Structure 1
């Protein structure tokens, strides 16, 4: 939604002057609250930002009529802005013939709750490809095919696009296969699927490619895990980071910082390992001054072989 809001505003810097004539200036606090809500949403700021001393100082410098607002007011305004933008998108969908949906499942590391992001893709009358995030919703356990289909159906129904779905792209999981079967049965009865639903269920190519590469990385799992745990060990302490940075500077390494991957994303593992091979001498030198790090140091030969395997993958 932040990107959508940004499109409403365009500033020509060439016309900005340090001298401003107020003329028949009239302060509109309601309009100011609206703009502040856009500012918070576009920059993904916490609601309490509007209560901060410096934000209040900036606004009072801009206009003496500014009235400080609380985080609760900002929250209310942001929800109101969301509802306005949602209604605009709902109106737009009325003129769209087919909408293609992609979904992604995600489990938060702290809350241990399951979420699903639902994204709509469509081509407008000017042949421009559009994309909007339609929902980021909680998926109750046990994340079965029936529950996934129920959550997704509720989302699409709220947007009023049930009869406009062209394809559904999901990752390659058994629960998604079951969910798509439920969907296909429902849509087949409504007779809204193109070419009898033969292209309705699409499997995510990026997810399939990731599964293939992760399978190949099993050959180097021991080395990759050592490098990952070693980086976590260094990054866990400021004193360790400083000591490692000094060693890297002493060795004249061009890399400035270690890269930590996300274990489920092969491209980030590639970046981590390609960076690690540049730091292999720094790893060895650091281990001589920190006994706790020795268990995380693979031999240079094994690290090199592991990185070559990652590059091939």
Structure 2
């Protein structure tokens, strides 16, 4: 008897076939359907969408149930959510992603209230994402701005050398509004040139040199670099001559040590006013190319025709 038992066990272990008494697994459709009765008929109803089928023992009724499981969008959505374990949505991460998309893509704040965007978020999160308003997006963007501003302040405070500034003001040709831009240029610890916009704000076009210089000083004090300015680059206009002198006077009035630093040989760029020739050179180039603009356009058209013929 022992010999017979061992031979039977070896027969199943040596081959790849399973024991004959082990049944194959079947697809249980009743995980998705429930039996009901309507008008004296036995039916089955889908648990997710509520669609009804005739419940019988024929192969056609069973085939209809199986086909419905593979085509029902609600069943597929629940199976995908179960597969990826999307049972809980991190709403904080969703808001952070929307904030980054708003900032980097220059999207208006009201896009969070668009019906298409809300429909997309509900579909992607399986109806679990919370609706956002433009006020929520504005608040999140301001939080990111304050965090980045604090990081830049710490980076500017750690600069060992001087900070070079470029200052530009202009008037819009369409709305006649004035704007002011102040940009900082400095070297970090890794000797990389860092360029950061410190201020971009509206300014009254009918201003004088003192108001303009006061605006620059206020911006420098806001960022804490009023004692670490190496040079300031402005447009080559006669109105900035008085502005540059007011800037030097106001910087010297902040501290006596700063006055000594500006007038010393270690900071000649603040002591002297160097005229910038970039604007004059730009006007000269525009004047020379103004007469040859038509010829350049004709040459461009000829090159385009040659490329088309070559293709």
Distance in structure 2 (CA, Å) of the matches to 1:62 and 1:204: 55
Q: Is the 8 A contact 1:103 1:119 kept in 2?
A: yes
How many residues align? The count is 213
Say whether 1:30 aligns with 2:92.
Answer: yes
What stretches of structure 1 of length at least 5 have no aligned partner?
A: 1-17, 225-269, 281-313
Q: For 2:295 and 2:215, how far apart are their aligned partners in 1?
A: 38
Cα separation, partners in 2 of 1:30 and 1:199, compared to 1, 3 Å = same
Aligned to 1:66: 129
Aligned to 2:265: 195
Report the counterpart of residue 274 of structure 1 in structure 2: 296
Matches within 5 A, 1:77-226: 77-97=140-160, 98-188=162-252, 189=256, 190-191=258-259, 192-193=261-262, 195=265, 197-200=267-270, 201-214=273-286, 216=288, 220=291
The answer to whether the 8 A contact 2:185-2:194 is kept is yes
- Whole-angstrom distance in 2 between the partners of 1:96 and 1:20: 52
1:143–1:175 Cα contact (<8 Å) kept? no
TM-score, normalized by length of structure 1?
A: 0.60
Partner Cα distance (1:208, 1:170) in 2: 13
Cα 1:20/1:164, change in 2 over 3 Å: farther
Higher helix share: 1
Q: What TM-score do you get using the length of structure 2 for normalisation?
A: 0.60
- Structure-2 separation of matches of 1:56 and 1:67: 9
Whether the 8 Å contact between 1:41 and 1:78 is mirrored in structure 2 is: yes
Shift, 1:26, TM fit: 4.6
Change (3 A) 1:215 1:70: same
Contact 1:171-1:208 at 8 Å conserved across structures: no
User: Is the radius of gyration larger for structure 1 or structure 2?
Assistant: 2
Query: In the TM superposition, what whole-angstrom CA distance separates every residue of 1:106-152 from its partner, at most 9, and x where no partner exists?
Result: 21223211101111111001100001111112222323221211111
Alignment RMSD: 2.9
Q: 1:71 to 1:275 in 2, by over 3 A?
A: farther
What does the per-residue CA deviation read over 1:156-204, in whole Å, with 9 as the maximum and x for residues that have no partner?
Answer: 1111111111110111012211111111123344234373542134544
Aligned residue number for residue 39 of structure 2: none
Q: In structure 1, the residue corresponding to 2:198 is in which secondary structure?
A: strand
Paired with 2:295 and 2:115, the residues of 1 have a C-alpha distance of 44
Match of 2:107 in 1: 45
